[in-house]
Amino acid sequence: MTRLIVRRVLWTIPVILLVILMTFLLMRQIEGNPFRTSERAIPASIQANLEAKFGLDDPWWKQYVRYVKGVATFDLGPSLVLRNRDVNDIVREHFPPSLELGALAMLFALVFGIPLGLLAALRANKWPDYTAMFVANVGFAVPSFLIATLLIYFFAVRWGDIFDIPTSGWTTWQSKILPTIALGLGPMAYFARLTRGSVLETLQQDYIRTARAKGLRRRRVVVVHTLRNSLIPVVTAAGPILGFLITGSFVIEQIFAIPGIGRYYVTAVTGRDYSVVMGLTVLLAMIVIVANMVVDILYGILDPRTREAR
Amino acid sequence: MSSTSSGERTQFPGLRRLKERRYLRLPTPPPPTPTASGDAGAPIRSSSLWRDAWYRYLRNRAAVIAGIAFLALLAYCVIWPIVSPYDPNQVDFSQANDSPSLAHPLGTDQFGRDLFTRTALGGRVSIGIGFAATLVILAIGVTYGAIAGFLGGFVDNALMRFLDALYGLPYLPFAIIILAIFGGGSFWTMVIALSIASWFTTARIVRGQIITLKENDYVRAAHAVGARWLRILARHLLPNTLGVLVIAVFLELPGVILGEAFLSFIGLGISPPDASWGSMAQDGYRAYRVAPHIIIVPSIAIAWLILCANFIADGLRDALDPRTRET
């Protein structure tokens, strides 16, 4: 097991290098210039000086090596557009709200999604199942911007007098309720569907029949024997869900005016702020890579069969 | 039969297991399906795979309803703009933000344009991008997967390690960068942006299929009688992956449609006067306080399509399950 973990952790290093390289090469293809906007052209000599200052005149592989060194020491470089701010500042400022939003949405999804799926599976093909799966299917299909807009419309515009929930910013706990629900509903539906399928599968196993046959109480069979074994594929879902949350946060942060990474990202791309886009992309990719690593290791711990296959 | 017999050589199983399950339904044994081969006495009726699958699909009520709803939506998007009495780009401020009425069944937007007509038009763009991107995903995925699976050995190993590295990366940031490279959203730049980080699962599935198929006797026989590799690939291997690919179309479609909607919603996608469901939703969002129906209409169209695609994919997978076929 230790060998597996060490190997898995070491494997992330070339992956991260490759992803940085890809992002790096892609970024170089973008037309435009961070120093010159269409309104104000700057003299060629100043342009050259600025490029020299940020090392943009070096050959690309030199820049790449320098960037990787920077990432290894947690230094993502200066911002090209906002002078006297570097990417680390921007991350420090915009990352916590995004992280908190993502964590809250994930929590929401787990807390409501797993029981919903369990309920559906235990009452398979009866009305609780149909209701739960209807909710899950609709929650999965409806785009989050509609959910967000409807939440604002009803809780702030229609019933604003009753609820008094702020619909923008990320300061008080009240302001965090609606974004969490809007972002978490899709993952919740995903967890519910996954849990249902997994529980149904587990219920057919021989050990469940044994547990029942030897007279264990239903509650114990469900919680200890069924749910625990069913949650293994649910753990695996953390990867896709994380991608889902990142994608969703771009929209949700925009709608609720949350000063997070997703919102800042779009600004940085349109402003040609290479180093910020690079830094944020690499950061997002690294989060996903590390999360996938954790999931794989957990999978190995939870399900010994995958260990033996090696 | 476990999944590992298909030459599974990946190092780390977690996430991939899950994604592949959606294609192949790995752990559950296939339900016994009554096929023509069952009764011994009856004359053997030739029954093709696709015919069997078709009958199995028709038995799945949810999938049939989803299929009809899907075709209805397609027909509406293709036909309605032609026969509609309204010009979808005709601005008329005297009836801006109208709620649904007899004259405008879905109401009008803030420029007084008929939403029932514009939704059909936006659907052409959204669904068009969806299918085009899905086809690109399949093309890349099949090529990559077929090369890896067919050549095997060192090449396979290298290609799969590369895929492992990219697997699960969030596609939206990369899609945004690609849009920036091409200088903004148009039909084809959207197609490229949405497909470029989404073909990994398809490639893996195709590779797995090819490796399994390669062990079949008819492939060995073809090899033994001296068929060239191109013939084996084109004649014996690729046609047998078709089932998985048909399922893949409906599994990839929702992600692409949603991706387009998100990009257009944050203002990076299709720009006016052209409409897609995403850009219509963006319009609607600007006016949600006075006319919430403007954002609801295109969003429901998106949800309709995604729901249909999910149920169709499930139905197709049950009908075409590769392992049901072997029995």
E strand intervals along B10-169: none
Residue A135: C-alpha distances to residues A120, A141, A193 (Å)? 11, 10, 10
- Residues 116-135 of chain A whose Cβ lies under 8 A from any Cβ of chain B: none
| Amino acid code (one letter) for A59 | P
Q: Per-residue confidence at B304, pLDDT binned at 50, 70, 90?
A: very high
Has residue B34 got a pLDDT over 70?
no
Instruction: List chain B residues with CB under 8 Å of A309.
Output: 4, 8, 13
Look at residue A85 in the predicted model and tell me its pLDDT. 74
Residue A68: C-alpha distances to residues A272, B164, B198 (Å)? 20, 21, 26
B145 CB neighbour count, 10 Å cutoff: 28
ipTM over 0.90: no
Look at residue B5 in the predicted model and tell me its pLDDT. 38
CATH code, B50-82+104-326: 1.10.3720.10
CA atoms within 13 A on the CB side of A39: 0
A226 touching chain B per CB within 8 A:
no
pLDDT digits (tens, 9 = 90+) for A35-58: 655 556 667 777 777 777 666 667
Place of tokens 């060629």: A44
What sign does the dihedral B132-B138-B143-B144 (CA atoms) show?
A: positive
Q: Are B185 and B179 in contact (CB under 8 A)?
A: yes
- Would you list the domain boundaries of chain B? 50-82+104-326
Q: What is the mean pLDDT of residues B284-307?
A: 87
B29 touching chain A per CB within 8 A:
no
Q: How far is A61 from chain B (nearest CA, A)?
A: 20
Residue A225: C-alpha distances to residues A201, A216, A284, B303 (Å)? 12, 10, 37, 36
pLDDT digits (tens, 9 = 90+) for B40-89: 455 555 567 778 778 888 888 888 999 999 999 999 888 888 887 777 77
Q: Per-residue confidence at B326, pLDDT binned at 50, 70, 90?
A: very low
- A309: nearest CB among B4, B14, B183: B4
Q: Could you give the percent of chain B with pLDDT greater than 70?
A: 80
Has residue B111 got a pLDDT over 80?
no
Q: What is the DSSP letter of A38?
A: S
- Residues 155-194 of chain B whose Cβ lies under 8 A from any Cβ of chain A: 162, 164-174, 176-178, 180-181, 183
pLDDT digits (tens, 9 = 90+) for B76-89: 888 888 887 777 77
Q: What does the alpha-carbon distance between residue B123 and residue B137 come to, in Å, rounded to a whole number? A: 20
Look at residue B7 in the predicted model and tell me its pLDDT. 39
pLDDT digits (tens, 9 = 90+) for B117-159: 888 888 899 999 999 999 999 999 999 999 998 888 888 888 9
Look at residue B129 in the predicted model and tell me its pLDDT. 92
* pLDDT top residue among A275 and B298: B298
B275 touching chain A per CB within 8 A:
no
Look at residue B321 in the predicted model and tell me its pLDDT. 67
- By CA distance, what is A7's nearest residue in B? B11
Tell me the DSSP string of B265-319. Answer: HTTSSS-TTS--HHHHHHHHHHTTTT-THHHHHHHHHHHHHHHHHHHHHHHHHHH
What sign does the dihedral B28-B34-B36-B38 (CA atoms) show?
A: positive
Q: What does the alpha-carbon distance between residue A158 and residue A151 come to, in Å, rounded to a whole number? A: 10
Q: What does the alpha-carbon distance between residue B172 and residue B261 come to, in Å, rounded to a whole number? A: 11
- Residues 55-114 of chain B whose Cβ lies under 8 A from any Cβ of chain A: none
| Cis amide prior to B170 (ω within 30 degrees) | no
Look at residue B14 in the predicted model and tell me its pLDDT. 58
Q: Nearest Cα to B259, choosing from B160, B190, B316? A: B190
| Amino acid code (one letter) for A97 | P
Stretches where chain A sits below pLDDT 50 are 309-310
Interface residue of A251, A275, A297 to substitute, partner B, most B CBs within 10 Å = A251
Q: How far is B7 from chain A (nearest CA, A)?
A: 12
A23 touching chain B per CB within 8 A:
yes
Q: How far is A277 from chain B (nearest CA, A)?
A: 8
Total beta-carbon pairs less than 8 A apart between chain A and chain B: 165
Q: Are B247 and B316 in contact (CB under 8 A)?
A: yes
Q: Nearest Cα to A249, choosing from A145, A175, A134? A: A145
Contact A281 B177 (CB under 8 A): yes
Place of tokens 């992600």: B255
A1 touching chain B per CB within 8 A:
no
Q: What does the alpha-carbon distance between residue B56 and residue B34 come to, in Å, rounded to a whole number? A: 10
Q: Against a cut of 0.90, is the pTM above it? A: no
Look at residue A40 in the predicted model and tell me its pLDDT. 61
Place of tokens 């959910």: A147
- B176: nearest CB among A266, A298, A299: A266
Mean pLDDT of chain A: 81
